[in-house]
Amino acid sequence: MDRRDAAMAYYEAIDADDYDRLRALLAPDFVQYRPDRTLDGPESFVRFMREERPRTDTEHVVDAVGVGGEMAEASRNDGETPRHGDVSAVFVEGRLRAADGTDLFGFVDVHRVSDAGIESLTTYTA
């Protein structure tokens, strides 16, 4: 699976409530940085998505996707160098849509993806 496909599979897994698939996409040291919290570790993130997120009757509508080059010396937000080799950045712009078709908010996600999976995700919302 290429890096862009991994990012797109992330949204498909969440929208389908397929938490096993979601977990399989994440690297062992995955972390999500979001405006309201940081979710450190794949198990913590998957548990939040399965049990704690405010709404589950939503879908991610992707408007644009861009893939950056390989970044062998890329650092995560916490300053640590990724441990799984080269990392590519996948930038996704989209909207979270409710089941009734209402757009709830826009987002830009920056996925850092390596051969081990999605290393980190930084979410910006509007």
pLDDT of residue 74: 43
Question: Angle at CA 15, nearest 5°, toward 9 and 18?
Answer: 70
pLDDT of residue 80: 54
* Domain tally, the chain: 1
Q: What is the CATH number of the domain that holds 77?
A: 3.10.450.50
Amino acid at 14: I
pLDDT of residue 78: 54
CA atoms of 107 and 23, how far apart (whole Å): 22
Tell me the whole-structure pTM to 2 decimals.
0.85
The low-confidence residues of the chain, meaning pLDDT below 70, are: 69-85
For 9, 16, 55, 76, the CA distances from 21, given in Å and listed in that order, are 9, 10, 19, 24
pLDDT of residue 73: 43
> What residue numbers bound the domain in which 85 lies?
3-125
